[in-house]
Amino acid sequence: MFHKEGAKIIFIGLTVTVAVALLAEKFIDSTTLKLIVQLVALAFLVLILQFFRNPLRIVDIKDHHIIAPVDGKVVVIEEVYEPEYFKDKRLQVSIFMSPINVHVTRYPSNGLIKFSKYHPGKYLVAWHPKASEENERTTVVIENPVFGEILYRQIAGALARRIVNYAREGMQVVQGTDAGFIKFGSRVDLYLPLGTEINVTLNQKAIGGKTIIATKA
């Protein structure tokens, strides 16, 4: 299963792969060189398909827990000042996605979209300290009946050149459903209320829609 945001790129990749294979068959006499060219073209297509995969995940929907919005590695767990929306201190949990991770963004909780804003910006590496303030990014706030307002931020990385965000103010969203996509490497930050019980540790692998990031009684 592949994400709809990859349809155009997958079609182009498939077309290029077939064209290269046919041209190699017609114009390259060396069997070894022909095979190498065709295998490189096939590997290119496989990489594209791998990047845009969208695995079906059964989500345990509950208001009293926050799930990972993306696949990746937990790289930040700390108390920080959130300057854009809350303008106070929050618990930040950040997940870094490498190019080989699934890049679908999923809603981390049920609730009402209170805020959704796109920011153009730079393309610093996603783990750079200034990435959350200077890179291309989107900020989304969900009002959850148990946690209150939580914020997640999609952040473009050095390779990412397009963030897709489906959240619109006034929408009611369901935990674990498709919230968007970030193309080619990135990071997602979660900002949770102080006192929230964090259920993950640094460098832990998170699975979008499955890993419970935080809980609240």
- Domain CATH number, residue 145: 2.70.70.10
Residue-number span of the structural domain to which 19 is assigned: 4-51
Examine residue 79 and state whether it is found in any structural domain, yes or no.
yes
Point out the catalytic residue in the list 94, 109, 132, 186.
186
The reply to whether 128 and 106 lie within a common domain is: yes
pLDDT in tens, 103-114: 899 999 999 999
Determine the 3-state secondary structure of 148 from DSSP: strand
Read off the pLDDT band of 56 (50, 70, 90). Answer: confident
Q: How many structural domains does the chain have?
A: 2
Examine residue 119 and state whether it is found in any structural domain, yes or no.
yes
Q: What is the pLDDT of residue 160?
A: 52
The reply to whether 155 and 97 lie within a common domain is: yes
3-state helix, strand, coil in the chain (%, to 5): 25, 40, 40
The reply to whether 153 and 96 lie within a common domain is: yes
Examine residue 18 and state whether it is found in any structural domain, yes or no.
yes
Query: Who has greater pLDDT, 117 or 5?
Result: 117
Beta strands in the chain (DSSP E): 65-67, 72-82, 88-97, 104-106, 111-119, 137-144, 148-156, 163-165, 172-173, 178-182, 186-192, 197-198, 205-206, 212-215
Read off the pLDDT band of 5 (50, 70, 90). Answer: confident
Query: What percent of the chain is predicted at pLDDT more than 70?
Result: 90
The reply to whether 119 and 192 lie within a common domain is: yes
The reply to whether 76 and 175 lie within a common domain is: yes
Q: Where are the alpha helices (DSSP H) in 146-186?
A: none
Go through 15-26 and write b for each residue having 16 or more CB atoms within 10 A of its CB, e for each that does not: eebeebbeebee
Examine residue 56 and state whether it is found in any structural domain, yes or no.
no
The reply to whether 185 and 82 lie within a common domain is: yes
Task: Write down the pTM of the prediction.
Answer: 0.85
The reply to whether 153 and 197 lie within a common domain is: yes
Catalytic annotation on 132? Answer: no
How many Cα neighbours within 13 Å face the side chain of 82?
24
Angle in degrees, CA 183, 179, 69, rounded to 5: 80
